[in-house]
């Protein structure tokens, strides 16, 4: 296992299109996080899962965003009707159990909406 894997690494899409990102966490990690990061800012929490259950979704996340983790392993983040303001780095992280352990991050998916 080489760590958290995210696909694609880069995505350029036209405004109004839908995009989907995938995250494969470290094997047997129960917790999975999604973050968004813009230039010069820290990662901004979007949502997280404990196994297949989505425990919390940020108020910043509009209805255009949805995340799933159907079998408690990989996760997908979908953005519908993309807007230019969605352009950012989308980071995924996983940890072995609840919040009091280190979260390991993937390399991120850079989204550019044109």
Q: Binding-site residue total for other proteins (CB under 8 A)? A: 25
CB 36 within 8 A of CB 44: yes
Q: Binding of other proteins at residue 74 (CB under 8 A)? A: no
CB of 82 to other proteins, least distance (A): 22
45 binds other proteins (CB under 8 A): yes
Contact pick of 19, 67, 88, 91 for other proteins (by CB under 8 A) = 91
Q: What does the alpha-carbon distance between residue 39 and residue 19 come to, in Å, rounded to a whole number?
A: 21
Decide: is 103 part of the binding site for other proteins (CB under 8 A). yes
Integer-rounded Cα Rg, in Å, for the chain is 13
């Amino acid at each position: 296992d080489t760590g958290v894997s995210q696909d694609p690494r880069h995505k350029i899409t036209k405004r109004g299109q839908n995009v989907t990102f995938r995250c494969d966490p470290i094997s047997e990690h129960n917790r999975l996080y999604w973050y968004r990061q813009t230039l010069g800012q820290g990662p901004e929490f979007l949502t997280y899962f404990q196994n297949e259950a989505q425990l919390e979704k940020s108020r910043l996340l509009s209805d255009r965003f949805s995340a799933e983790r159907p079998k408690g392993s990989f996760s997908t983040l979908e953005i519908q009707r993309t807007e230019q303001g969605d352009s950012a780095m989308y980071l995924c992280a996983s940890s072995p159990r609840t919040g009091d352990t280190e979260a390991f991050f993937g390399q991120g998916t850079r989204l550019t909406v044109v």
